[in-house]
Amino acid sequence: MSANASKINLLGLSPDKLEAFFEELGEKRFRASQVLKWIHQMGVSDFQQMTNISKGLRNKLEEIAEVRAPEVIQQWDSKDGTRKFLIRVSGDNAIETVFIPERDRGTLCVSSQVGCSLDCSFCATGKQGFNRDLSAAEIIGQVWLAAKSFGQLSENGPRKVTNVVMMGMGEPLLNFDNVVDSMTLMMHDNCYGLSKRRVTLSTSGVVPALDKLGQYTDACLAISLHAPNDELRNELVPLNKKYPIAMLLDSAKRYIDGLPDQRRKLTIEYTLIDQVNDRDEHAQQLTDLLKDIPVKINLIPFNPFGLSNYKRVSNTRLRRFQQILIDAGYTTTIRTTRGDDIDAACGQLAGQVNDRTRRSERYKIDMAALSSSQADVIPVKAIQ
């Protein structure tokens, strides 16, 4: 589908915005429900196929609007079933989206920005610099494309995408409005109908945005913590210098306390890096830090990528760290590394970023180095 700058793209309009759009056209608001179902439940982008809408309105929509998803450039399938999509977005950029199948669920890891303006020291995305925020259409478009690729958007199609995590490229809270609109579409009954327990926003800690998040959504929340004290976190997550741990956890706790369902817990993401944040004392500090907050802890063994000197933690260390947390009473899981043969594992997403920050020059970014393993994997589909 080619971009048409003069047409409004309905793909990313939240239910409220689509209702307002139809009202402005002099139509009833319920037209929005009909169109949302066509787009997000049946995957229809051609207005003429929306047969419960009058011919006159279909023609009018064709004149002034479009349903335009970003375009899949390539996709790779990992040996373990993980699928990575490389998706073209405007400005000569490309983003990555990853689907991770498990026995009882299928999780889609969605990107929110082209690159990332933050520069976490363990993250491939951050090394590429930043170009821009994704539009709501480009964010929900990742769900639309993935669901379509699995035949989910057809009558009786398999429901493959059961969970969405906003943990791909970018910091979601720095693209607040578009991320909130997209999450609303993910959870809306006329769209993907995902429950609030199956949509998770992960943030490295943009506190002012987190403070207002509860007014707009009740999705699950994950905090990318990665360190138990400010000194270490300042090194790993530079944003911590602006919003230190205590401020971040206070804000996260307020979000969780404000949720209608009090059984929900905050997820703490902790990437374990060999000899950096993996010592017993770090685990002990973490148990103290989190003692007044309902949390579950997700340990992520660091996934090495070109340009990083960090090393993956040993399995013995990983188990030992986990045991300390479990002994202190915390539900603690270890995230199984998935899709590392196609660079789809956590912290490895790279895409193609027309960097506006010059950070990539500083790191002398070599895309081949970031995506080295892709050379060994034959794309299952290549669209140019």
Verify binding: residue 171, ligand SF4, rule CB under 6 A: yes
Distance of alpha carbon 324 from alpha carbon 329, whole angstroms: 9
Distance of alpha carbon 140 from alpha carbon 18, whole angstroms: 15
The alpha helices in the chain, defined as continuous H runs, are 15-24, 31-36, 55-64, 124-127, 136-149, 176-187, 207-213, 230-236, 245-257, 280-289, 315-327, 359-362, 367-370
Verify binding: residue 108, ligand SF4, rule CB under 6 A: no
Nearer CB in complex with ligand SF4: 113/322: 113
Verify binding: residue 43, ligand SF4, rule CB under 6 A: no
| Stretch of 2-10, 165-173, 241-249, 367-375 contacting ligand SF4, by CB under 6 A | 165-173
Q: Are 372 and 306 in contact (CB under 8 A)?
A: yes
* Total residues interacting with ligand SF4, rule: CB under 6 A: 12
Verify binding: residue 267, ligand SF4, rule CB under 6 A: no
Verify binding: residue 223, ligand SF4, rule CB under 6 A: no
Instruction: Output DSSP code: residue 194.
Output: -
Q: Which residues are catalytic?
A: 96, 346
Q: Token match 């040993």: residue?
A: 314
User: Which residue among 125, 135, 182, 374 contacts ligand SF4 (CB under 6 A)?
Assistant: 125
| Stretch of 31-39, 68-76, 168-176, 284-292 contacting ligand SF4, by CB under 6 A | 168-176
DSSP string covering 254-300: HHHHTSS-TT--EEEEEEEBTTTS-SHHHHHHHHHHTTTS-EEEEEE
Nearer CB in complex with ligand SF4: 15/170: 170
In one-letter notation, the amino acid at residue 178 is N
In one-letter notation, the amino acid at residue 260 is P
In angstroms, how far is the first alpha carbon of the chain from the final one?
A: 13
> Which residue number places its CB atom closest to ligand SF4?
126
| Stretch of 18-26, 166-174, 305-313, 361-369 contacting ligand SF4, by CB under 6 A | 166-174
Verify binding: residue 308, ligand SF4, rule CB under 6 A: no
Verify binding: residue 123, ligand SF4, rule CB under 6 A: yes
| Stretch of 38-46, 117-125, 190-198, 356-364 contacting ligand SF4, by CB under 6 A | 117-125
What minimum distance in Å lies between the beta carbon of 119 and ligand SF4?
6
Nearer CB in complex with ligand SF4: 182/204: 204
Q: In a 3-state reduction of DSSP, which class is residue 161? A: coil
| Stretch of 66-74, 116-124, 143-151, 244-252 contacting ligand SF4, by CB under 6 A | 116-124
Verify binding: residue 116, ligand SF4, rule CB under 6 A: yes
User: Which residue among 204, 277, 308, 332 contacts ligand SF4 (CB under 6 A)?
Assistant: 204
Nearer CB in complex with ligand SF4: 51/309: 309
Verify binding: residue 120, ligand SF4, rule CB under 6 A: yes
Report the relative pairing of strands 295-301 and 331-334 from DSSP bridges: parallel
Structural tokens at position 64? 């002034």
Instruction: Output DSSP code: residue 177.
Output: H
Q: In a 3-state reduction of DSSP, which class is residue 56? A: helix
Q: Which residues are at the interface with ligand SF4 (CB under 6 A)?
A: 116, 118-120, 123, 125-126, 169-171, 204, 224
